Chains A and B, each alone.
Chain A
Amino acid sequence: MSNPRPTHQTLSVVVENRSGVLARVSSLFARRGYNIISLAVAPTDDPAFSRITIVIDIETTSVEQMTKQLFKLVNVIKITELDPSDSVERELLLATVSASGEARSQVVELVGLFDGKIEDVGYSTLTVMLAGDPARLDDLEELLRPYGITELQRTGRVALPRLERQAPRLRNATGKAS
């Protein structure tokens, strides 16, 4: 929010749910030299279609070119550009953290503060889970690091546009809507 020029943008791409479509999308990005930060794929409510949520690096290429090139793929049905400030973005993190002795209770407390969960308990390690805003995941990851993260897995974000709820006048005042 403090950064006026975001370095990434999320594209929500609805595609036909057929074999090879993900390969078409990813090879297009490779072929044109676009950078993918993360990518998540799953069927939508209609099993004929899948939604690919791609977080792209927009410092090196224009979103407009990426979107237009993507849309040339015959199996791409719809593309929504999601501005981070105008969408709900969620991601899930799993981390195995060294936590023996005193550290153990500190890690448990930290994860509790973030509303995360302890998913697995070992003699000297804990596996913790946090689902939420990607920035919060970054924060927890940073705070856990001093204890020693031995395994880390993040899903890549999924996103949907934020719902129109407030009066447009009010939203304009924040300078976000356009």
Chain B
Amino acid sequence: MKLTGAQALIKSLEMESVEVVFGLPGGCILPAYDPLLDSPIRHILVRHEQGAGHMAEGYAHVTGRPGVAMVTSGPAATNMVTPLCDAYMDSVPMVAITGQVGRPFIGTDAFQECDTVGITRSVTKHNELVMDPHELPLIIRQAFHLATTGRPGPVLVDVPKDVLQAEIDWWWPSDADLAASLPGYRPTTKGHPRMIKEAARLIAAAERPVIYAGGGILKARAAEVLLELAETTGIPVVTTLMARGAFPDDHPLCLGMPGMHGNYTAITAMQQSDLLIALGTRFDDRVTGRVGAFAPTAKVVHVDIDPAELGKIRKPDVPIVGDCRQVIGEIVKALRVLAQPGSGVAPPDRTPWRSQLSGWQERFPLHYDPQVEGDALKPQLVMETLRDSAPDETILVSGVGQHQMWASQFWKFNHPYTWVNSGGLGTMGFSVPAAIGAKVGRPDRTVWAVDGDGCFQMTAQELATAASERIPVKVAILNNAYLGMVRQWQEMFYEERYSEVYLSPDLPDYVKWAEAMGCVGIRVEHPEEVQPAIDKANSIDDRPVVIDFRTDAREKVFPMVPAGASNDQVVVHPSQAPGGERFVQ
């Protein structure tokens, strides 16, 4: 069968069971948009290429399937760099297809030419410029394979216009063709049996163990087996920013989020533990604080599918390269063997540890100054009301900053794949497009984007995409008229010298913005309006809704471990440090 390169591209996407492509056409990718008309694949026309990338990420986060974005060459490809880097940092499976100038024009500074593979090399798991039209189906198959196996990540395929126009004999590479074409790619998924035994031995003997669960749990679809590990051993679990929902927040063993804005118990449990069971996580600086002072008495079992993460930051006592789901399953089995009578292992007494943990939980719960009549609206109150009014399994998406931390702190994540955010790269503007992608992937779920006013202005033109494509996402802007997190740092660490952080509460007018984009816009200025506005938003299901919550700019995110400080120096809410001391040991 003869096909054009463009037809082969679209057919290859169909072969990969792609159901939706987020994109925007232009000169060099034009040929690919013609066969798209005849394809069952849904195309969502974005308003900016960055939006297409984040939508693909949002889709991938909630479905586990690779998100696909397709844009043209040059400026479109450079607009894709941020989402690619975001997906790379957070290990999100994604395939980006970019147009490129025709092969004879490559290297001539042609119109809308840029070195896309050169520019995106360090922000993709792999990328490829298709120079032989016959290879197109193979390269697409490789892209999906690479994006979804091993440590997932973004893959970019750059396709010159004349490759799309060339005629090829259609073929679809077999598994054997695929394997032969990637001789250097064999991810290890099965953990080393001796290491698994050693891990089980340490786990069985630990007196103050903590499971440190990261985003890899979700990527490996390992939430169930994590629950089994925790319940079999009775070991408490912290869930990092990328792992919120990987272990239910309402479970008695859940300690919540650790790290810079984690809760006191999660941070301190890790600090004082004698064994960290690190699963699908990478000892990020936002989690460890000053690395040299992080969990000084803990031995470390570290499981990750990426061998380069083992020992990158913290040298593990037991390194295990493998897929979290498989390895945790094997560890649970090994623990059962150890627990058999006559195995000679006496289980340690963990009662003191448990009481220490619950003591901290009692003394240092998440806290904010309660709403006072006549005072500005507390953003935390908005989060709590959103949470309590949300239908079960609502997907929460956030941008980056204070609102992101409040979202993670005050929401109750009881199901995996209900939290979408930009963790590693910290991309402001992530939430609106990512929420749209999430809603496309899970149309059956309510999707709430919590955003800051700073973030919102970066990508909110995608609300036009949502309205025209009938993707009814809901956006809660915690509008404090500031770049809130920067303001917080300037208040705490720059002697309240506020530099370039004020944005204005009503420029732009967010309600008018929403209405101009075909969404419902609601403004909330007083606490008593919060619940009715959220109820109204939850009842609307035929178009997007934006609520402009005018919140108190003075609110800060607590607890906080200042940048560069040790995790022993948690700054808790002032009301929890009765002596007025800033740091609580």
Task: Identify the A interface with B (CB < 8 A).
Answer: 15-16, 20, 23-24, 27-28, 31, 62, 64-65, 68-69, 71-78
Contacts and interface: CB of A to CB of B under 8 A. Distances in A.
Given A16-B184, A31-B122, A73-B184, A65 B311 contact: yes
A37 B122 CA distance: 22
Query: Sorted from nearest, which 8 A-B pairs have the closest CB atoms?
Result: A68-B308, A77-B184, A74-B126, A31-B122, A74-B185, A76-B184, A68-B307, A69-B308
- B121, B129, B311: most-surrounded residue (chain A CB, <10 A): B121
A74 B183 CA distance: 8
A31 B122 CA distance: 7
Interface string B179-211: 000111100000000000000000000000000
B308 A23 contact: no
Interface string B123-153: 0011001000000000000000010000000
29 contacts: A15-B184, A16-B184, A20-B117, A20-B129, A23-B118, A27-B121, A27-B122, A28-B122, A31-B122, A62-B311, A65-B308, A65-B311, A65-B312, A68-B307, A68-B308, A69-B308, A71-B307, A72-B306, A72-B308, A73-B184, A74-B125, A74-B126, A74-B146, A74-B182, A74-B184, A74-B185, A77-B183, A77-B184, A78-B184
A74 B125 CA distance: 8
Nearest to A73: B184
Contacts, number: 36
Contacts of A76: 184
Nearest to A15: B184
A23 B121 contact: yes
A34 B322 CA distance: 26
A69 B310 CA distance: 11
B216 to A, nearest CB: 15
A24 B124 CA distance: 11
B434 to A, nearest CB: 26
- B125, B182, B184: most-surrounded residue (chain A CB, <10 A): B184
Given A20-B129, A64-B311, A65-B308, A75 B121 contact: no
A80 B46 CA distance: 47
A24 B121 contact: yes
Contacts of A73: 184
B310 to A, nearest CB: 8
Interface in B13-70: none
Given A64-B311, A73-B184, A74-B126, 6 more contacts: A23-B121, A31-B122, A65-B308, A72-B308, A74-B182, A77-B184
Contacts of B185: 74
Nearest to A31: B122
Nearest to A18: B128
Contacts of A77: 183-184
A28 B123 CA distance: 11
A27 B124 CA distance: 12
A29 B185 CA distance: 20
A27 B307 CA distance: 20
A76 B125 CA distance: 13
A24 B118 CA distance: 9
Interface in B398-442: none
Nearest to B122: A31
Nearest to A21: B184
B164 to A, nearest CB: 20
A23 B121 CA distance: 9
